[in-house]
Structure 1
Amino acid sequence: MTNESHGPTLTLQAHAKINLSLDVLHKRRDGYHHLCMIMQEISLHDEVHLRLTPEPGIRLTTNAGFLPVDQGNIAWKAAERLARGAGVSLESQGVAIHIDKQIPVAAGLAGGSADAAAVLKGLNALWRLGLSLEELQLISLPLGADIPYCLMGGTALAEGIGERLTPLTLAKPFWVVLVKPPVSVSTREVYEALKLDEIEERPDTLALIEALAQADSLTMAGAMANVLETVTIPQVPEIGELKRRLLALNATASLMSGSGPTVFGLFKDQEKARSAGEKLKRLYREVHVVHTLRRSQ
């Protein structure tokens, strides 16, 4: 849409993700970990509002007072990196970014990466750059390993540090209950504390891919695992308790997303998910009842 007095504007939804599986294969020479995980886009989203301005530079605002509104915000960095890479001068024109934050922060849901992906998509359109998805993914990777996935969305196998993506088939959508306990977890510290030689339970990635394509929830539940739970659950036992509670509330499977602390349960139908969500809202402030999304492109 276009507002003549303020310049061209665009609003995009920036969707959260959950990890249906997360396996760490080995530590790389560059210090990163080689991952193998299945990512799933969900309906929970932030709204990212973009507006081109005659005033130079990047101006970022948000409804969340605790978020940085300068170079410390990954969405700000995404706008700067795209401008630099595409030859757009921010000295002669500018962009205003407003993020309406709904995705819990530092929760293992890739909220910041989703915002950055929305900025890249939106400015690619507003600046009429004509960059392909693959080109945007390449530009985004140095900013964060989850951004290439957030640009693509849907269901995907992510390998390497998360940049090698293979779209997967999700035969049947399902409902998801997310619960973020009131604790914070450092992704860096979780990976640093991970003892790869002591991991006993790993996801069965191939079985999970097949189960997703066949809508086989029983096989799916048995194949799902997140090896980072070996670090976070001993540190935050509440995560393990939440998994058990979700299963007791009729979830077909329950897992921690990313490095945590958010825990999710998968449900076959909306009624069971809403019922579980209502019960958990009596105990936790951050509870969301959402559903999976298929890839929109």
Structure 2
Amino acid sequence: MLTIKGNAKINLTLDVLYKREDGFHQVEMIMQAIDLADELRLEERATGNISIASTIARLPCDQRNLAYRAAALIKETCQVKSGVHIFIDKKIPVAAGLAGGSTDAASVLLGLNRLWKLGLTTHELEQLGSKLGSDVPFCIKGGTMLATGRGEILQSLVDIKPCFVILAKPSVSVSTAWVYRQYKSQNVKVRPNTAGVIASLGQGDLVGVAKGVCNVLESVTIPVHPEIKRLKQAMMQHGAMASLMSGSGPTVFGLAEDQTKAEYIAEKLKSQCAADIFVTKTVGRSEEV
């Protein structure tokens, strides 16, 4: 039995540059690992079968689950005869823009590489992960990264100065594929200054990072789900350094310099908003489990 932790992510910036000939969108985004995490337990099975169980009843436990597909991919690629039972203790909200499915897939790749003693390098695991989803390679590496291409091409950045993160997940779920299908560049009023945020990261300037957070996909999701805008406004009113929708939404995050401020904002949101509220913190690569 092997236990592994899979961290959620937020997007400090997210820019869509253009639609590619392969149908995907070319993106440029700064991704950040956070300490909200799923815990996966992997148990080898001699039968060769892959099975999944979860603490979330509505989570599919078959080929629709990215963790299942990750196990099947690494098993087939490395011609492993053993099977595995995967138990997912789900803490990351589903369909929330926090890479919950991708981080489970990344955890399975990392975990089975150890459990089955396959000896794959991090780069080889990233290549496998990119076949499963654009966020999976980042979830393998964690920390603070610049992601380009479909999101699978990664460049390590200076880890963000440690800070606390307030998350607010409204009751709606959002399909990433739908958001990208609806995206129109002409509807975007402000684009991220990605280079500026990278410079602030390099200087350890959390205020500069906070000033630069920006996500062009808000132009799609907020008009359909205006509660996202209300959550952003509430976070800023109660003292967050910055507030932004993560990924394709609907989760909104706020940044706070210390835990006291983060918990104050969270308590205010709980009394005002119909959303699931979490307080967590940023995670650097050196802290990854």
Give TM-score scaled by structure 2 length.
Answer: 0.96
- 8 A Cα contact 2:20 2:26, kept in partner: yes
Q: Deviations over 1:23-52 (max 9, x none)?
A: 000000111000000000000000000011
SS at match of 1:143: coil
Partner of 2:134: 145
Partner of 1:267: 256
Distance of aligned partners of 1:223 and 1:285 in 2 relative to their CA distance in 1, 3 Å threshold: closer
CA distance in 2 between partners of 1:81 and 1:55 (Å): 17
CA distance in 1 between partners of 2:228 and 2:98 (Å): 15
1:94-173 counterparts in 2 under 5 A? 94-173=83-162
Partner of 2:76: 84
1:1-297 counterparts in 2 under 5 A? 9-89=1-81, 93-282=82-271, 283-296=273-286
How far 1:281 sits from its partner (Å)? Answer: 2.1
CA distance in 2 between partners of 1:251 and 1:69 (Å): 38
Q: Deviations over 1:107-151 (max 9, x none)?
A: 000000000100000100011000000000111111101000000
How far 1:186 sits from its partner (Å)? Answer: 1.6
Identical pairs, percent: 50
Partner of 1:5: none
- 8 A Cα contact 1:253 1:265, kept in partner: yes
CA distance in 2 between partners of 1:286 and 1:12 (Å): 25
Unaligned runs of 5+ in 2: none
- 8 A Cα contact 1:177 1:264, kept in partner: yes
CA distance in 2 between partners of 1:128 and 1:69 (Å): 25
Taking only aligned residues, the RMSD between alpha carbons, in angstroms, comes to 1.1
How far 1:171 sits from its partner (Å)? Answer: 4.9
CA distance in 2 between partners of 1:251 and 1:212 (Å): 18
One-letter code aligned to 2:282: T
- 8 A Cα contact 1:179 1:284, kept in partner: no
How far 1:215 sits from its partner (Å)? Answer: 2.6
How far 1:285 sits from its partner (Å)? Answer: 4.4
One-letter code aligned to 1:108: G
Aligned length: 286
How far 1:94 sits from its partner (Å)? Answer: 1.6
CA distance in 2 between partners of 1:250 and 1:280 (Å): 12
Unaligned runs of 5+ in 1: 1-8
One-letter code aligned to 2:99: A
- 8 A Cα contact 2:144 2:160, kept in partner: no
* Bigger radius of gyration among the two: 1
Q: Deviations over 1:52-110 (max 9, x none)?
A: 12233101100100011111100000000001001112xxx321100000000000000
How far 1:200 sits from its partner (Å)? Answer: 2.2
Give TM-score scaled by structure 1 length.
Answer: 0.94
Distance of aligned partners of 1:16 and 1:85 in 2 relative to their CA distance in 1, 3 Å threshold: same
CA distance in 2 between partners of 1:171 and 1:26 (Å): 28
